[in-house]
Amino acid sequence: MRKHEIEQLIRSLGIGATYRGYHYLVYGVSLCMDNEDYLLSVGKLLYTRIAEAYFTTGSSVERDIRTVIRICWERGNRPLLQEIAMYPLHARPTAGEFFDILANYLNNQLRTEACL
């Protein structure tokens, strides 16, 4: 269920599954939702964990994540990204900011649903 919600949000931001970074993003957001410590060290912890899961390198994960963030910012649903960020985005978010925005938004959604 949660994977579906993550994928739905990422697709609504204009990022399709044809990008390798899409799959890395889905997995990375899931990790960040479970353990916010990943947000403290995106480059060393998060990218390494994603790379291990997908049998690739951390630098490849970093590049592909940057690509999907750029796609979202330049051609995607920037108004939705602004809305879920809950603060003004004057420039394209960093990878850490992007993971934080998505994980925080989805965790808030889950908490809201649990209260209903």
The CATH number of residue 53's host domain is 1.10.10.10
What's the domain range around 75? 2-115
Residue 114 CA to residue 111 CA, distance in Å, equals 5
Q: What are the b/e assignments for 41-78, b being 16+ CB within 10 Å?
A: ebeebbbbbbbeeeeeebebbbebbebbbebbbeebee
- pLDDT value, residue 116: 66
- Whole-number average pLDDT of the chain: 94
Residue 23 has pLDDT above 90, yes or no: yes
Least trusted range by pLDDT, from 24-38, 52-66, 102-116: 102-116
Give residue for tokens 């916010």: 36
What is d(CA 70, CA 58) in angstroms, rounded to the nearest whole number? 18
Q: What pTM did the predictor assign?
A: 0.94
| Amino acid making up residue 19 | Y
Please measure the distance between the N-terminal and C-terminal CA atoms of the chain and give it in whole angstroms: 17
Contacts 24+ apart (CB under 8 A), 44-47: 46/99
Of 42, 37, 33, residue with least CA distance to 9: 33
Q: What is the pLDDT of residues 70-115, one digit of tens each?
A: 999 999 999 999 999 999 999 999 999 999 999 999 999 888 777 7
Number of domains the chain contains:
1
